[in-house]
Chain A
């Protein structure tokens, strides 16, 4: 590869794209192509993805464990095994509903969705996930409304369970828990017996394991009459990691004898407080006849949990230590979960990889950043917003272990997260609301794709699913959205609709208006955009070169390129209505309202013409005025929503979404290889197919390279877990968005012209983890942010470091980040207290002043003042005219997928922050906020201002200088016309004082410390 790279270096132009004067002999071309393929065979990014060993795994010799590993139904335990569920015994398709999870204990206690099948049954079916979050093992994914329960036959309950109020029992679960919203008090993982609270005599015994979102802890409650509740058991993190979770209750009172274990380690930091009490009598399970064992919200009393479950075992005895350890060891091994003991001993894997490289380069790494720096970093990183002073204070003072982990969880649960990270993906998706070029045609539905992206990030939609939906949501989840005569919309339909919306990815590319005049050219432009963007965004390959000739450096032939075009040629863009059948009928019912507007306009125009060309009489002018008013009346009477409550777009336009749809077969145009990419030089006809070389790199089908039929197949192939590129490319993007630079700095180019990874093993390990955790992006955030590498100080350097590794590719410190345009906009408004957090909807246009506008006609300022301070992601993205602040601060060009934004430092940025009306207005609002929150006391105002803008206290010197500054500014002359009306309560201050405070606020917003995140 080095040879090839240096060759490129010598004069890339000539080699890459030379305009070959004469056609070289076919033979020569062929052999050089074969050479290229051979080289590509050993190229890093095309190699199969294998989990690399961790640096410290290599050194530590696996201690031949003498301890036994048992299956849950190991013979001595069989007798007590009351129920046993194993996800791998299910033969369901991915994402299929679980309508029954059969018991493997031999006692036939099968779990079923309880809704309408049990008295008080509430649980909807969960879904089967082929590669779940527990190291990629199959799992049952639980979420809102979902729950399973065991229905016991009424006639045989007498000898069903051996459980009495004072019995011992053991519960083991292989689970991956997601966090729950803080507002949900509790979620039930598992339970048996009667969940009803209260000391109602005669209730049977019960036991429940519950998750408490606010504290991310588990508790155990139950006992006879449900009258014992153990306090939260652990400070250890139990969410977002695969767990073998064990609960053992020994015979007798719960308090003294109940213990939790996480991955083999006892969790006993917290004293257990309550006692088992109640009746002398010890009722047993027989008092409940209909149901007995639950997962999730199987009954209306039980709240749901979110997460993946791979295996559950329930014993009617307290296992001994040796038994427990043997079963746990078996499960840990089976699911490749690290034991807590081992985890505590080793370095964070990311750090292990990073430290190894640093050690090789003989470079030290930076010390850890302070908590103050960390919370600011985490907030801007995950939310793109500053933390409130109160949050900073609480976090800095929180000395409990795992405070950092809890902060990360909290931020990932915020809806602001999707707005921040969705914006990153929009860069990749070359998102815009218009088509660009001279006419900049308006895509009125593009924002639905934007909202889809934000939602997908917030939902932590598995990335493979996210990709599949965008490439082929219409094919993979086909749905005519027909409601089959009901007002109730099936959740399934909503999901399918979401998948359909995702294909908007292809409907918002750049488009030349006039090329509509030349259908062939238009199609070529579109197919080029679709194929190139697919390559850059999902495969991290620049395919574009292969449009004109076989790729000069990567194993993509011209045939491959046009075969991909042929895949997309079977699709067409379409706008489909979002209303359901009733809504459409409502629209038709109310259509005369539109005719009324049209007629009112006609009346006006007619009268205008009739009386035009001369001086109108006063009566005529009045009549014309009257006609204008009727027009306005007609407009105002247009319904805003249909009778189903679905809002119309604009002027009673049925809301629609732009999507891809399969083209009618007879209309699919043939695709030819175009010589030198020129439209009129058609060569051989090609069929849809995967890129040959890459297809052979996956095990998709031994008979590959095969022809494929559709985008659906392409999407499935791209998201295969053995695809060498997809996971590597995405984890690299995630890394880049965290660190400012990817392990591969060329995020859209994993080919030979890209820059190879600084840490190839780390990249592969991350990619492997990504897939193993069900392509969960939030899991990657947790993984990355809990590393020491992420938590390093940025404030560190030395000559040696600078000389050896000026670009910090070895990660010897954290990179200081400058806020992007959107984040800057958000931060300014957030600090000023004016940020409007309303989500989604048609893009907004905050007012601009004349000097900022090159095209006034198409800038229609939003009329609701609340829309002027929405988050930056909601401001319209026109290809031909960018929002000035974003333009100045390196907004992507969005003609093609953007691999990473430039970070320029130019004078217009300084001018914007110093002089722009927004910057100044928000300084006024900031000053107003200070007055409101800190009163009319300069010291307190300064203190508050520092807290709000910089997330820290001023030091004594800064305090003094700030006070001096206020005095200096106050002593400056002012003029009466200096002020537009000031907001309350600022206007109550003496003008000179108000002006000084505004100036001080303006200066804070201009500080390097404000715009750079350490």
Chain B
């Protein structure tokens, strides 16, 4: 049996090292101590069962095999961006513009949200595609700046699933299941790899507006809460309960914390064999550090004017998502494992072109900047960037110029993390309705992400309700990782 990541061998030296650390000054040994504690707790329950003493910790853990990437920035395009307006050019569709859907597409009875596919007329994209970079990757005119990174992007044009409604589809893309209660991708990754930061959450989510999915998008589901994403706010205090109550200054708090730790230590010393008490003591120090680290993370005063301009921070359209992308870089720099940035809303039922133009203008420059910035800092190699929405849109017209949801074939792209860019994987049919070549189900997509991080999706499991659960359920066979990283 392959050990799942939280299983470590019992190290008999731990106890004595711990007592050494205990005797040293509290604050100094604290970080090392908490990491040792984490391992201590794990040895207490080697059974990988949900028992009382199994307390999960966030210390860094080795992946199953050599990883390509260490961190992830997931750019979630909520609402479902159209593949036809972005990364999947369809000359045949352009040609058939205004014609009814040919019978040969066999779309009778195919469920869509608002219409019957056979009732609609085909609609070409108003955005021309051109080839970019050495690779000649085709990208539409919506993303002029991103197109400059064409050689970094690997576009998957054959994503598919069968949930044609936002809620379940978002839940599926976020967690691998349409049902509530499953952990999000970031939670699985954090569960698998732990955290590299001792003062920031391992998994952070940000959004540029209200978003549809709610907490399922970053929740830990049935995994322990420690793997849950922390939603960071753009404005005001970034993390809940980060600012001290009015009237309690830093000095006051330090006095309280010192007294607290003294009494907690005394309490603990008379209660042997309960590592949770120690974990909670060290959590107070972590909380104290977080109060400094999170505002520091969000304070971009120290970033150069050039960088600010790169991300488009001074322009209205790009300011919001630009700052999120900049924060994302700063997070990864500070050891955050998984960053989820949500951009919404791409739900172009009405005026699809206008909707997409508007959204693209907000994210094109920031995402391009993120790629540039990571690259120039040598961080792109270690960081996997993923761009995807919960589904794509129909080639048939809804109303006069909209597109309905279509999960049957849509595009996503990946970059960084050792990926050899400038390539296209898979294809949809001639009008971009269904994935037909190299089909990549959401489970395959998730398996690929895990692979790039050195995790085997079949081995990254957690026993819940009588079954060893995994992100990819029974799927995930079409793992693209090898193809993505090969030249």
With a CB–CB cut-off of 8 A, which chain A residues contact B236?
A: 850-851
Q: B255 to A854, Cβ gap below 8 A?
A: no
| Chain A residue at minimal CB-CB distance from B167 | A438
B277: chain A residues at CB < 8 Å are 1008, 1012
Chain A residues lying within 8 Å of B252, measured Cβ to Cβ, are 969, 972, 995, 999
CB of A879 closer than 8 Å to a CB of B:
yes
The secondary structure that dominates the B interface is loop
Mask of A511-549 contacts with B, CB within 8 angstroms, 1/0: 011110110000000000000000010000010110000
- Asked if B181 and A893 sit within 8 Å, CB to CB, the answer is yes
B241 touches A911 (CB 8 A): yes
Q: Which residues of the other chain, B, contact A1008 by a CB distance below 8 angstroms?
A: 264, 267-268, 277, 280-281
- Interface residues in B228-261 by Cβ distance below 8 A to A read 230-231, 233, 236-237, 239-249, 251-253, 255-256, 259-260
Q: Is the CB of A908 within 8 A of B240?
A: yes
Query: A999 and B256 in contact (CB under 8 A), knowing A806-B53, A907-B286, A1008-B281?
Result: yes
Given A545-B467, A905-B276: A881 touches B181 (CB 8 Å cut-off): no
Flag if B166 contacts A438 (CB, 8 Å).
yes
Residues in B neighbouring A1, C-beta threshold 8 A: none
The answer to whether A1007 and B465 touch across the interface, beta carbons within 8 angstroms, is no
Within 8 A of B (CB), among A202-247: none
Q: Which residue of B lies closest to A899 (CB)?
A: B465
Which A residues are CB-close (under 8 A) to B243? 915
Query: Is B168 an interface residue when CB atoms closer than 8 A count as contact?
Result: yes
Interface size class of A (residues with CB under 8 A): 35 or more
Question: Chain B's nearest CB lies how many Å from the CB of A821?
Answer: 11
In the complex, chain B residues 138-195 whose Cβ is within 8 Å of any chain A Cβ: 165-168, 170-171, 178-181
Residue in A753, A851, A910, A998 whose beta carbon sits within 8 Å of that of B283 in the complex: A910
The residue on B at minimum CB distance from A551 is B466
B127 within 8 A of A: no
Q: Which residue of A lies closest to B212 (CB)?
A: A438
Compute how far the CA of A512 lies from the CA of B277 in the bound complex, rounded to whole angstroms.
41
Chain B positions within 8 Å of A517 at CB level: 113, 165
Complex formed: what's the CA distance from A999 to B248 in Å?
A: 8
Are B55 and A905 within 8 A (Cβ)? yes
- Could you tell me if A855 and B210 are in contact, using CB atoms closer than 8 angstroms? yes
Q: Is A634 interfacial (CB 8 A cutoff)?
A: no
Q: Is the interface of A mostly helix, strand, loop or mixed?
A: loop
Contact present for A920 and B245 (CB under 8 Å): yes
Contacts of B290 in A (CB 8 A): 907, 911
Contacting residues, chain B, for A881 (C-beta < 8 A): 214-215
B interface footprint on A731-753 (CB within 8 Å = 1, 0 otherwise) = 00000000011000110110101
Given A902-B225, A965-B255, A995-B247, A438–B465 Cβ distance below 8 Å? no
Which A882-932 residues sit within 8 Å CB-CB of chain B?
A: 882, 884, 887-888, 890, 893-896, 899-900, 902-912, 914-917, 919-920
A910 touches B280 (CB 8 A): yes
Q: Closest residue of chain A to B2, judged by CB?
A: A11
Take A745-B49, A806-B53 as given contacts and tell me if A19 and B273 are in contact as well, using a CB distance cutoff of 8 Å.
Answer: no
B457 to chain A minimum Cβ distance, whole angstroms, is: 10
Within 8 A of A (CB), among B363-416: none
Give B30-52 interface residues, CB cut-off 8 Å to A: 44-45, 47, 49-52
Given contacts A9-B1, A438-B214, A879-B180, contact A795 B270 (CB under 8 A): yes
**Chain B positions within 8 Å of A12 at CB level:** 461, 463, 467-468
Q: CB of A816 within 8 A of chain B? A: yes
A881 to B477, CA, bound (A): 34
- In the assembled complex, the Cα of A818 lies from the Cα of B279 at a distance in Å of 13
Which A975-1014 residues have C-beta < 8 A from chain B?
977-980, 995, 998-999, 1002-1003, 1006-1009, 1011-1012, 1014
Within 784-822 of A, Cβ neighbours of B (below 8 Å) are at 794-798, 801-802, 806-809, 815-816, 818
The answer, yes or no, to whether B6 is at the interface (CB within 8 Å) is no
Asked whether B214 lies within 8 Å of A440 as measured between CB atoms, the reply is yes
* Contact for A916 among B179, B216, B241, CB less than 8 A: B241
Contact, CB under 8 Å: A978 / B247? yes
Cα distance A16–B473 when bound, in Å? 11
Taken together as a complex, chains A and B put the C-alpha atoms of A753 and B461 apart, in Å, by 14
> B350 contacts the other chain (Cβ, under 8 Å)?
no
Whether B267 lies near A1009 (C-beta < 8 A) is yes
Q: Which residues of A, 10-34, contact B by the 8 Å Cβ criterion?
A: 10-14, 16-19
Any chain A CB within 8 A of the CB of B263? yes
Q: Would you give the shortest CB distance from A294 to chain B, in whole angstroms?
A: 52
A586 CA / B2 CA spacing, docked (Å)? 69
Residues of A within 8 A of B181 (CB): 510, 893-896
Among residues of A, the one whose C-beta sits closest to the C-beta of B58 is: A906
Would A900 and B50 count as touching, CB distance under 8 A? yes
Asked whether, in the complex, the Cβ of A888 is within 8 Å of the Cβ of B165, the reply is no
Interface size on B, residues (CB 8 A): 92
- Report chain A residues within 8 Å CB of B239: 908, 911
The verdict on A958 contacting chain B, using a C-beta distance below 8 Å, is yes
Known contacts A12-B468, A851-B236; A17 and B474 CB within 8 A of each other: yes
Shortest Cβ gap from B325 to chain A (Å): 21
Docked CA distance A998–B215 (Å): 34
B222 contacts partner chain A, Cβ-Cβ < 8 Å: yes
**B222, B224, B245, B461: most-surrounded residue (chain A CB, <10 A):** B245
Residue of B nearest to A978 (CB): B247
How many Å lie between the Cα of A884 and that of B465 in the bound state? 26
Out of B45, B273, B284, B473, which one reaches A797, CB within 8 Å? Answer: B273
Q: How far is the CA of A438 from the CA of B78 in the complex (A)?
A: 12
Tell me, yes or no, whether B125 is within 8 Å of chain A by CB: no
Q: Does A968 contact B (CB under 8 A)?
A: yes
**How many Å lie between the Cα of A1012 and that of B275 in the bound state?**
13
A754 CB–B CB distance under 8 Å: yes
Given contacts A896-B181, A914-B241, contact A545 B267 (CB under 8 A): no
Closest to A806 in B: B44
A979 and B245 alpha carbons, distance in the complex (Å): 10
Residues of B within 8 A of A794 (CB): 271
Min distance, Cβ A529 to any Cβ of chain B, angstroms = 9
CA distance A795 to B165 in the complex (A): 54
Question: A902 to B271, alpha carbons, bound, how many Å?
Answer: 22
Chain A residues with CB under 8 Å of B267's CB are 1007-1009
Report whether B283 and A906 are in contact in the complex, using a CB–CB cutoff of 8 Å. yes
Bound Cα distance A1014, B210 (Å): 43
Does residue A682 face the partner (Cβ distance < 8 Å to B)? no
Report the Cα distance A968→B258, complex, angstroms: 12
Q: State whether the Cβ of B27 lies closer than 8 Å to any Cβ in chain A.
A: no
A753 near B214 with CB under 8 A, answer no
* Shortest Cβ gap from A40 to chain B (Å): 14
Contact in complex: A741, B465 (CB < 8 Å): no
Contact B279 A439 (CB under 8 A): no
Cross-chain contact A905 with B51 (CB below 8 angstroms): no
Interface residue? B111 (CB, 8 A) = yes
Given contacts A437-B214, A798-B272, A1008-B280, 13 further A-B contacts (CB under 8 A): A16-B467, A513-B167, A514-B166, A517-B165, A741-B51, A749-B465, A795-B270, A795-B271, A904-B225, A910-B280, A911-B242, A978-B246, A999-B256
Pull 6 A–B residue pairs with CB atoms less than 8 Å apart, ordered by A: A11-B458, A510-B179, A545-B466, A802-B273, A807-B45, A977-B246
Q: Which residues of B are in contact with A by a Cβ distance under 8 Å?
A: 1-2, 44-45, 47, 49-53, 55-56, 111, 113, 165-168, 170-171, 178-181, 210, 212-216, 219, 221-222, 224-226, 230-231, 233, 236-237, 239-249, 251-253, 255-256, 259-260, 262-264, 267-268, 270-274, 276-277, 279-281, 283-284, 286-287, 290-291, 458, 461, 463, 465-468, 470, 473-475, 477
Q: Which residues does A use to contact B, with CB under 8 Å? A: 9-14, 16-19, 436-440, 510, 512-515, 517-518, 536, 542, 544-545, 553-554, 740-741, 745-746, 748-749, 751, 753-755, 794-798, 801-802, 806-809, 815-816, 818, 850-852, 854-855, 879-882, 884, 887-888, 890, 893-896, 899-900, 902-912, 914-917, 919-920, 958, 961, 965, 968-969, 972-974, 977-980, 995, 998-999, 1002-1003, 1006-1009, 1011-1012, 1014
* Closest CB pairs A-B (n = 6): A895-B181, A797-B273, A438-B167, A895-B180, A920-B245, A910-B287
